[in-house]
Amino acid sequence: MAKKSFPLAKVYTLLEPGPVTLITTAHKGVANIMTQSWHTMMEFEPPLVGCVISGRNHSFAALKATRECAINIPTAELAKQVVLIGNCSGSKVDKFARSGLTALPASLVQAPLIAECYASLECRVADSRLVNSYNFFILEVVKAWVEPSIKQARTLHHRGKGEFMLAGETLKLPSRMK
């Protein structure tokens, strides 16, 4: 391959992992949603997920104060809502009303689950030591819900600037040889 120099400002478009998620919070009785794609698995069990949530977002203050949220995973059918929710703030609008998505009560946290998403993970903040320096929350998934009829979820994977890749084929190989 004859690779060429690539702008540092665009490196995220190569590595941004997806799937794009919808993070819900509830603060002082008000529920909110934000679109989120900068996240990473950190541990199998209990599952730990690291998430970058900008300090400029309304969700940041809610998560910092309540230490609870839900990570909801949408499929391609919700692409328009994903973009809409990622381009307005809960400080100004009721995003459940605007997007038409349905809030369901969670079992262990105050943040609602999104009925239309194929998976929802109830989370508590496990470690906030990197929040001040990197806006990086380490979340522990305390309860997970998945729609059993969806075997191969067509999740959205952000490539930057409004471009999304859809999850497609599954390749089954032994990823560990012993």
Ligand X SMILES: Cc1cc2nc3c(=O)[nH]c(=O)nc-3n(C[C@H](O)[C@H](O)[C@H](O)COP(=O)(O)O)c2cc1C
The site for ligand X (CB under 6 A) is made up of 20, 32, 34-38, 52-54, 57-59, 83, 86-91, 158
Q: Which residues pair with 158 in a beta bridge?
A: 164
For ligand X, the closer CB: 96 or 118: 96
Spatial separation of the C-alpha atoms in residues 85 and 118, rounded to whole Å: 17
For ligand X, the closer CB: 83 or 173: 83
CB of 83 to ligand X, least distance (A): 5
The CA R_g of the chain, rounded to the nearest whole Å, is 17
CB of 136 to ligand X, least distance (A): 10
For ligand X, the closer CB: 24 or 120: 24
Give every CB contact of residue 112 below 8 A, 6+ residues apart in sequence: 24, 26, 31, 70, 96, 103, 104, 105, 106
CB of 105 to ligand X, least distance (A): 20
CB of 41 to ligand X, least distance (A): 15
User: Nearest residue by C-beta to ligand X?
Assistant: 86
The DSSP string of 70-114 is EEEE-BGGGHHHHHHHTTS-TTTS-HHHHH---EE--SSSSSPEE
For ligand X, the closer CB: 68 or 178: 68
